Structure 1
Amino acid sequence: MHIKKDQIRGTWYFVLDAPRENGKRKQIRRTGFKTKRAAEQKYRQFKQEIEESGTFKIVSDISFNDYLDYFIKNYMEVNLKESTVRNKLFLIEKHIRPVLKNYKLREISPAIINEIINNKVKEGYKKKYISSIFTYIKLIFRYSVFPSEFLKKNPAEHLKMPKIEDVSNTEKSITMDNLNKLTKLWKNTKFNIIYTVGLHTGMRLGEIIALEWDNIDLNKGIITVNKNAVTLGSEVKLSSPKTQSSIRTINIGKTLILELKKWRVEQIEQKFKRGKFYIQSNFVCTYSDGRWIKPNSIKSNGTALKKKYGIKFNFHMLRHTHATMLIENGANMKDVQERLGHYKYSTTMDTYAHVTKKMSDETIEIFEKAINQN
């Protein structure tokens, strides 16, 4: 056994032959053990790893900060869409880098990661958002093991999300009373057509903002969804939809067709009225001077409506409200999934389970009433 004592320092060390690299001899040397027994234990550990795997990976001394830059460049920028990279970077720079930047990558333990997630719960973030942070932390560390080989083990591998009480799905829909108030308020804003399309189709905000008149067949009553407007820093760009299943056609009713026709006429009138000062485009969602309406403008307007009139509201609630109204009135769940552009049927079922539960309760009440009359 190649274990010896450093006569000058008084500590123990060992030298171990590792598998050859490119035909050249390679040795692993570890020093600084206070006792011979400690050196022997570490020697056996390294030797066993070599015998079992045929290799030995020396844990990197890279800082988490440097590794994170490596991960962004070699994984995110290579494998993800530009819009996704921007969204994930916001999450990383806000919630992950600040708390881990002063650690070496190898120093980060399961307990440290667990504390980060628990703190997010205490700070009051929603379950879905915390889950996104947790999922990305796990991905970052999984990549550090394979294929990057900076670590031998993933410290986040066996961690689980804490139990979090989240906002119920019933609170994500708008009550009929508030909906009636909101529709009256929208009529007096420059964003009326956007809110109206959202309520009548369940489309995502980015999908509506990206609509061009070529995507709408007013004669057949069909909207084709094939683009998404995404915010990248201070810019808004068109990209492909969220998933392949988000590319879809949506049937629309007479009420929305009439609203779209009226809006189309108003757009054309504004073009003639403003002449060369009108900004030409084929977008459906524009201001009176032809400028393209951006997603952040709608979010700001929704916040203002909520603050001014005390109505709990954000644009995404229109999507939930649309789906809830469909299901409560007997729409097939598979049809709702396709209309919303959900990738998985289970997503639709999980999101609107509270609606089907309510319908089941009402169904049994009808039966009880019927049988008790006989």
Structure 2
Amino acid sequence: MAVKKKVEKPKNRGGAGDGTFYDKVSKTWGFRAVRDGKDFRRKGFYTKTEAKQARIDFVSEIQAKTEEDKMPQSVNDENSKITLEEVYEHYIKYGSYEKRDATLTKQGSLWKNHIKPAFGDRPITSISSGELKNFLIQLYYQGSEFNRFEESYAYGYVEGFLKFFYLLWGYARRMQWISRDTYCVMCEDKGTKLDMPAKTKEDEDEEKIETYTQEEVKKMMERLKDTNLYTALLLGYYLGVRISECFGLMWSDIKWSEKTITIQRQMLMHSPHRTLCPCKTTAAKREIDIPEPLYMHLKEKKKVQDGNKNYYGTSYRDTECVKVRMKKGQDDDLIGGDFINRMKNGQILTPDSMKSWGVKIKEDLGIHFKYHNLRHTHASFLVAVNCPIPTLMERMGHKKIETTSKYYFGSNEIANDRLKEGLKLLEIQ
């Protein structure tokens, strides 16, 4: 049993001349130190000796920090002209010996294709964390000049830039080319340091695979059958499209004779406009087969929509303005596009239209509804019927095979039923 250390009783309960004091409430010793006008107090020590030694250590630490701040901290004129390219070249020549070849190859690619064109000739002291944060945001949401802004980069890939920036600024600090304050602003201070852009909702949804059983899907279909969003539900289930892709679909994307549909854009909200943008990656642009139940529904939907347009006449509300930004620099207006998802009166439906239904489905059916789970369900069912990985990868619009492979390691209703059927073959008649 641990013996509680006895607290030394103070002879002087006031402040001591050596900076120590006794706290009556906690009945422990503490110390006080003043530095740059700031009063630092610490308590919780059992003896006055402990408090005194702690004060000595604390003051020494502050003094050491102050001395470091006085080091070529006063970045002289020569150092202030050191460019980011000079930092990188010095690091490669003298500071990269411990790095693996694969790491240096990756860093070389990031530098040559992206960082050097954007910041290479700039003095490192002139580059702000805000500029670099905007650079990371552009990479994640739009891409770069290197890929002609044809697709955005994966979150994990962009994280590589963040780590590389930290490395370069840390190396510059060790070489005393930037001050400690400059380094702290870029890499340590919570309010100013460089960090990653917020993840898109789609990336968050892709990380965790949640699926619905066929019975749950059937219930949701019955609940939404007479609503404006029934078609959107079917598109998610039968095609496995993302919600932004679903509401970007137009009738002109369908090849009726071949029973295929092309996924080539997504509808996003760039306040205050609804915007049509390219799919997240080049792999996400794809032409896929339409299952027969969905094909028949879409044929009927087209007839009904054309009939509604004739019925409402000039009151048909298909005159909204949607921004078209399918390539860099484009900012065109699209008035009344031939979108598949419209209300009876012609009003356009958007990804936001599905939000309220999540609550209703939960209340009415007890099912946690998230549109992206229809995509997971679609992929999981195809895996259960032994769809080859390359085929599924193409249909889902995945850029990396690792993303597709996740579905082959899960469990779902169809896969379990097929397994039970297969096990019966083991029976000896």
| TM superposition score category, shorter chain reference | 0.5 to 0.7
CA distance in 1, matches of 2:223, 2:246: 20
Q: 1:39 corresponds to which residue?
A: none
Q: CA deviation at 1:237?
A: 0.7
More helix by share: 1
Give the conservation status (yes or no) of the 8 Å contact 1:202–1:322.
yes
User: Helix, strand or coil: the match of 1:172?
Assistant: coil
**Structure ID, larger Rg:** 2
Instruction: Say if 1:371 and 1:309 are closer, same or farther in 2 by CA, change over 3 A.
Output: closer
1:206–1:228 Cα contact (<8 Å) kept:
yes
The alignment's C-alpha RMSD in Å is 4.6
Question: How far off is 1:336 after superposition?
Answer: 1.2
> Could you say which residue in structure 2 is the equivalent of 1:308?
364
Residues 184-193 or 307-316, more deviating: 307-316
**Distance in 2 (alpha carbons) for counterparts of 1:324 and 1:218:** 27
Q: Does 1:71 align with 2:113?
A: no
User: Which residue among 328, 335, 343 is the counterpart of 2:384?
Assistant: 328
Counterpart for residue 143 of structure 1: 165
Q: Deviations over 1:138-166 (max 9, x none)?
A: 7546435548965399679xxxxxxxxx9
CA contact (8 A) 2:139 2:158 kept: no
Aligned residue runs from structure 1 range 21-32, under 5 A: 21=78
- Code of the residue aligned with 1:69 in structure 2: it is G
Q: Distance in 2 between matches of 1:351 and 1:234?
A: 37
1:350 aligns with 2:388: no
Moved over 6 A (4+): 11-16, 134-138, 152-156, 166-171
SS at match of 2:293: helix
Which structure 2 residue ranges, 5 or more long, are not aligned?
1-65, 83-90, 96-122, 145-153, 173-181, 194-203, 319-335
Aligned positions, number: 273
What is residue 180 of structure 1 aligned with on the other side? 218
Contact residue 222 and residue 250 of structure 1 kept, 8 A: yes
Residues 225 and 246, structure 1, Cα contact 8 Å, conserved in 2 = yes
Match of 2:313 in 1: 275
Distance of aligned partners of 1:83 and 1:208 in 2 relative to their CA distance in 1, 3 Å threshold: farther
Equivalent AA in structure 2 for residue 239 of structure 1? C
Structure 1 CA distance, aligned partners of 2:421 and 2:300? Answer: 44
State the match for 2:230 in structure 1.
Answer: 192
Aligned to 1:206, the other structure's residue is in SS state helix
Q: Secondary structure at the match of 1:224?
A: strand
**Secondary structure of the equivalent of 1:347?**
helix
Contact 2:358 2:368 in 1 (8 A): no
Deviations 1:110-157 (A, max 9, x none): xxxxxxxxxxxxxxxxxxxxx97x99777546435548965399679x
Q: Residues 251, 347 of structure 1: CA spacing in aligned structure 2 closer, same or farther, 3 A cutoff?
A: same
Q: Which residue of 2 aligns with 1:294?
A: 350
Give the % identical residues.
22
Alpha-carbon distance in structure 1 between the residues aligned to 2:315 and 2:143: 32
Hey, what's the Cα distance between the residues in 1 that align with 2:256 and 2:138? 40
Give how far 1:311 is off: 1.2
Aligned ranges 1:113-192 → 2 under 5 Å: 139-140=161-162, 142-146=164-168, 151=183, 172-192=210-230
The 1-side partners of 2:143 and 2:270 are apart by 6
Give the Cα–Cα distance (whole angstroms) in 2 for the partners of residues 286 and 67 of structure 1: 46
Alpha-carbon distance, 1:257 to partner: 1.2
